[in-house]
Structure 1
């Protein structure tokens, strides 16, 4: 059997599987008697195979004619049953199954994936209806639409090139930062609704720290300022996000120059342990009103706050680029300090790359990395004051200071 024949046979098998999978769900939902639905498991299997056969025999043009015929038949069936069931779900699924059968001949993996999603949507009808009507709030729906517009429209359309003063501004990176901050805030919102503030916020903070620890601290502070009863959970999540920073930095350095980790194992280990211990203190601390706070969890995110944070990071990047252009290699430490204000990982990656290129030694690379981590921690302290006020910052700053002190202690011992 040739490779083309094997591909065609696989496509037919996938089409058969899609028809059986989707048709089984529709068969279970058919009524009995004269008013029962017209499409069941056999109809869906036949339509899926009909789409495959159309592509095999005549390509896309024959598939289009077949889809028109299937769509017309579905419309006729709908006219007979629309008084009992005014929905168009079965008819639309029948037409899509036919098209997926045709797609399976050319791209069986894509067709199988879409078919599985279709079957899952059909099988989850009751749960989806309950979620949208009873669980999802109107404001949450608006937030989902706004986030989708930012992530699926604004972000892809933003130019992915450096421009502006010193070629330091990348619109795609700025838009990505705003979307990341919105996603972090939404993650904390979902976790808090699902698990409560005591467990949800710390877990969300640690996970979101892999995206941006500074943005996580900002998001947690903004939420704590609106709802002081969530303070302990927000502080725990904010501090635990710094552990993610250290883990991510370790991975970045290991991928670029693994030998550099030998000189950094003690600083990074000490810093991560200190942040973990301090975060656990607030994880086990219970706020007096933590049980009542779940009733009012606020909004998923604040677009204005995300834009302000992105603007602040952009200004820091401009200053860093200007300093590097002015001082060149002589300003490596100062440049590392400024770059660290925006992203500690960028400083670590730069130093590790210079070491990998044999331009600096391991001892020379440690200094900029630790300075970048220190200024990044300083930036987090400033962000904590800006986002959550004095009450939030006085709980965050000691943990950040303890972490960075442990980092330098590890460097001194090493």
Structure 2
């Protein structure tokens, strides 16, 4: 009788091998060059891996080891034969993909479907993105490479070894959690930097949105200063700040969703209203500006990784956690609101992450939601202050008018919560 489960494992190996083989066949067709394997060979390699695992289970583990050695030798000989025939030295990308395909077959046999599928997708994407990856490597500077390695160190070499428990009075200091914030801020900066560099000069509004991922306050400061010297684009600059502020609110929601789903449900409506107001104004403003063609340079982000700002944020986060716990202990919810206001003057992320963490066990979701909303509204009001301090008259009037309206709506929502 046919073993259906066994048949499924072998079929999975063939399908996953075919996916990789299809990409290699397509690549060979595009470059019209030589490759050691294509759409037929890769599924056979995967099937060979599954068969080796099957026989290893029936007879001996040595069968699998011998199979792995044979496929390795076959790939090496194929590579040497191609280089000798073409008299050209190639990279060993396809050969490595073939060797990994063997293990995909092994994983398929042992029922590790999710892992085998994930590995197949990763391999296929890496193979397909050859030109993109080469182009990226050509554009990466020495500074970017150095900072990327530093990020890997802080994220994967330091973080896993830090103790994940509280120290000190009220257990206010958690080394793992504080350093996680360093990784978190650095990661956001990396994403924003990569997007800005990848998109290039795509216009001021796109830049404002991407800049808002890193810091909406930086966008407000930069655009306010420009509004005095570049009066022709004052409406576009003002709209850019409004968009960046909207991105900041969306970022807060994403941070809360990632940490505390229950708290997210408390904030989705109040913050959603602020986002909708921003979106409506942006839509009508864009309709007025769509006829104007502006080729604006993006905000210059000098480095993808700056440890000092990340450390400052982590310390601010640790301090915020301590103040919230102490404030809530002695001043109840009013202490949390006061600290939220003070924290929002400098950075909305610290209070957002802090309250999202504490809402799980130390404070109620209602108090945490109001605290985050106060932080968001305070940070929004700060941008009006920046406009008044650094911006030109027309820019100042637009930003103060909109931000004041947004803060007023937010205060009304907070009172009703």
Matches within 5 A, 1:108-127: 108-127=113-132
From 13, 19, 23, the counterpart of 2:11: 13
In structure 2, stretches of 5+ residues that fail to align are 231-235, 344-349
Aligned mates of 1:108, 1:160 — CA distance in 2: 32
1:391 aligns to what? 390
CA distances 1:253-284 after superposition (whole Å, capped 9, x unpaired): 994697x78xx96x657644565577779988
Gap change, CA 1:8 and 1:298, over 3 Å in 2:
same
1:164-203 alignment, distance < 5 Å: 164-193=168-197, 194=199, 196-203=202-209
Question: 1:92-107 residue pairs with structure 2 within 5 A?
Answer: 92-106=96-110, 107=112
Q: Find the aligned partners of 2:271 and 2:62 in 1 and give their Cα distance.
A: 62
Q: TM-score, length-normalised on structure 1?
A: 0.71
CA distance in 2, matches of 1:248, 1:26: 38
Distance of 2:194 and 2:94 partners within structure 1? 32
Secondary structure at 2:69's aligned position in 1? helix
Give the Cα separation in 1 of the matches to 2:68 and 2:90. 22
Question: Which deviates more, 192-201 or 298-307?
Answer: 192-201
Q: Deviations over 1:158-178 (max 9, x none)?
A: 332222332122233322322
Question: What is the match of residue 351 of structure 2?
Answer: 343
- Match of 1:293, SS state, is coil
C-alpha contact 1:320 1:338 (8 A) present in aligned 2: yes
Q: Alpha carbons of 1:248 and 1:55: their partners in 2 closer, same or farther (altered >3 Å)?
A: closer
Structure 1 residues 347 and 19 mapped into 2: Cα distance closer, same or farther (>3 Å)?
Answer: closer
**Kindly tell me: are residues 52 and 279 of structure 1, through their superposed partners in 2, closer, same or farther at Cα, counting changes over 3 Å?**
same
Cα distance 1:159–1:224, how it changes in 2: closer, same or farther (>3 A)? Answer: farther
- The answer to whether the 8 A contact 1:198-1:233 is kept is no
Whole-Å Cα distance in 2 between the matches of residues 280 and 165 of structure 1? 50
The two structures have a TM-score, normalised by structure 2, of 0.71
Say what the alpha-carbon RMSD is for the aligned residues.
4.7
Could you say if the C-alpha distance between residues 347 and 336 of structure 1 is closer, same or farther in structure 2, counting changes exceeding 3 Å?
farther
CA distance in 1 between counterparts of 2:302 and 2:311 reads: 19
1:11-48 deviation per Cα after TM superposition (whole angstroms, max 9, x unaligned): 211211233232344445669xxx95543443333221
Change (3 A) 1:27 1:373: closer
Separation in structure 2 between the aligned mates of residue 331 and residue 13 of structure 1, nearest angstrom: 62
- Provide closer, same or farther for how the CA distance between residues 280 and 137 of structure 1 changes in structure 2, counting only shifts above 3 A: farther
Q: Distance in 2 between matches of 1:45 and 1:392?
A: 63
Inter-partner Cα distance in structure 2 for 1:127 and 1:356: 48
2:346 maps to which residue?
Answer: none
Whole-angstrom distance in 2 between the partners of 1:402 and 1:353: 34
Q: Which moved more, 1:11-20 or 1:177-186?
A: 177-186
CA distance 1:277–1:232, change in 2 (3 Å)? same
How many pairs does the alignment contain?
384
Kept in 2, the 8 Å contact 1:184–1:219? The answer is no
Report how far residue 382 of structure 1 moved.
6.6
Q: Indicate how the Cα distance of structure 1 residues 351 and 79 shifts in structure 2: closer, same or farther if over 3 A, else same.
A: closer
Q: Is the 8 A contact 2:328 2:334 kept in 1?
A: no
Provide the secondary structure at the position in 2 that maps to 1:343: helix
Runs of 5+ unmatched residues, structure 1:
209-214, 358-364
Q: Distance in 2 between matches of 1:182 and 1:157?
A: 18
1:403 alignment partner, one of 406, 412, 416:
406
**Structure 1 contact 339–346 (Cα < 8 Å) conserved:** no
> Within 5 A, what are the aligned runs for 1:301-340?
301-325=305-329, 327=330, 331-338=332-339
Counterpart of 1:130? Answer: 135
CA offsets 1:315-366 (integer angstroms, 9 cap, x no match): 22222223334x2xx5321234325634257658978999989xxxxxxx58
CA deviation map 1:155-201 (0-9, x unaligned): 33333222233212223332232223223333333343416352323
How many Å apart are 1:147 and its aligned residue? 3.1
Deviates more, 1:68-77 or 1:396-405: 396-405
Say if 1:245 and 1:192 are closer, same or farther in 2 by CA, change over 3 A. Answer: closer
1:57 Cα shift? 1.0
